[in-house]
């Protein structure tokens, strides 16, 4: 393994492009692999990155590979098969999964990579695409201390905060707990906005009061920027990904024999949104769906007090 590791990056979406850009701008040799959208791929290649033909090729030429995909089946697909990472893995390879994934799948993949002499790290993200571009994300890391110290300089390219949660799988468990809170907020804020509107409290008034109180937070701000200002890009996290994460959260609770009434209830709203064709809408749009179920049009309150 060279003194300066060669880095690979699979998954160049809202978060991945900014992360990969910051790695390249820090001077690392970078190999990338995206999907059908050529814009982020061409952007990074224009900065000097190389495009890999397959995850296997990336494993053959890189020392550290990032994965930033939507779900565990996608992660498993790039790890397995004749063109997967495991097929090209060699001793010393480190795979950093920055996705939000099923911890049980993470632990199984870690065991498979260990048989090849490699190390699997879960380092899911907290933050926004803007923070990804600025290199200011939160990283929740699950791995051995020795591995963390090896990859820390690379993580610091895109993370403003790095917290070692515990062994492999712990990072993804922490991220699911974080998303349990956030996605439950999405369901709660939707109900609150609709109930308020129904009893004569406009969303703008609700925002003004709550944002200034101890109950205000960043999630509330971006959520209400859609509810009040109708800014569709204020909180760019899809309902499809939210439903997936809540599924993982409920599975984790079931595996731990924990009663999870709140997570189960929140999941129902996102399941309904998926079933009615709104998977690609962003999470704040949930407020309109809850409003429609209650005969309310939140948009008409957008410019009133």
Active site residues per annotation: 175
The crossing angle, in degrees rounded to 10, of helices 103-114 and 239-255 is: 80
Residues 6+ apart with CB under 8 A from 139: 98, 123, 124, 125, 126, 155, 158, 159, 161, 162, 163, 171
Residues 6+ apart with CB under 8 A from 130: none
The crossing angle, in degrees rounded to 10, of helices 203-211 and 170-198 is: 130
121 — phi, psi (to 5°)?
Answer: -120, 130
Block residue for tokens 């939507």: 70
As a whole number of angstroms, the distance between CA 145 and CA 18 comes to: 26
CA 29 from chain centre, in angstroms, equals 25
Q: In terms of DSSP H, where are the helices of the chain?
A: 16-25, 38-46, 55-61, 72-79, 85-88, 103-114, 129-134, 145-158, 170-198, 203-211, 218-227, 239-255, 261-275, 286-293
């Amino acid at each position: 393994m060279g003194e300066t590791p060669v880095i690979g990056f699979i998954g160049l979406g809202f978060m991945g492009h900014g992360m990969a850009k910051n790695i390249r701008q820090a001077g690392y040799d970078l190999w990338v692999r995206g999907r059908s959208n050529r814009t982020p791929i061409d952007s990074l290649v224009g900065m000097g990155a190389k495009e890999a033909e397959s995850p296997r090729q990336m494993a053959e030429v890189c020392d550290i590979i990032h994965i930033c995909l939507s779900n565990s089946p996608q992660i498993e697909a790039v790890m397995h098969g004749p063109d997967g990472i495991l097929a090209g893995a060699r001793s010393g390879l480190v795979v950093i999964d920055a996705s939000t994934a099923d911890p049980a799948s993470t632990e199984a993949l870690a065991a498979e990579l260990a048989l090849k002499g490699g190390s699997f790290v879960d380092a899911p993200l907290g933050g926004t695409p803007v923070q990804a571009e600025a290199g200011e994300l939160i990283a929740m890391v699950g791995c051995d201390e020795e591995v963390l110290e090896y990859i820390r300089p690379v993580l610091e390219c895109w993370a403003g905060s790095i917290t070692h949660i515990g062994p492999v799988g712990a990072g993804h468990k922490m991220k699911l707990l974080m998303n349990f809170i956030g996605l439950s907020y999405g369901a709660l804020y939707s109900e609150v906005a609709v109930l308020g509107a129904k009893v004569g409290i406009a969303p703008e008034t609700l925002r003004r009061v709550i944002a200034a109180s101890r109950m205000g937070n960043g999630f509330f701000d971006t959520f209400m920027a859609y509810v009040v200002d109708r800014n569709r890009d204020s909180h760019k996290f899809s309902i499809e990904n939210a439903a997936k994460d809540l599924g993982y959260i409920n599975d984790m609770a079931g595996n731990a024999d924990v009663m999870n009434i709140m997570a189960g209830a929140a999941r129902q709203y996102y399941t309904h949104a998926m079933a009615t064709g709104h998977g690609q809408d962003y999470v704040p749009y949930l407020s309109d769906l809850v409003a429609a179920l209650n005969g309310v049009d939140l948009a008409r309150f957008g410019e009133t007090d």
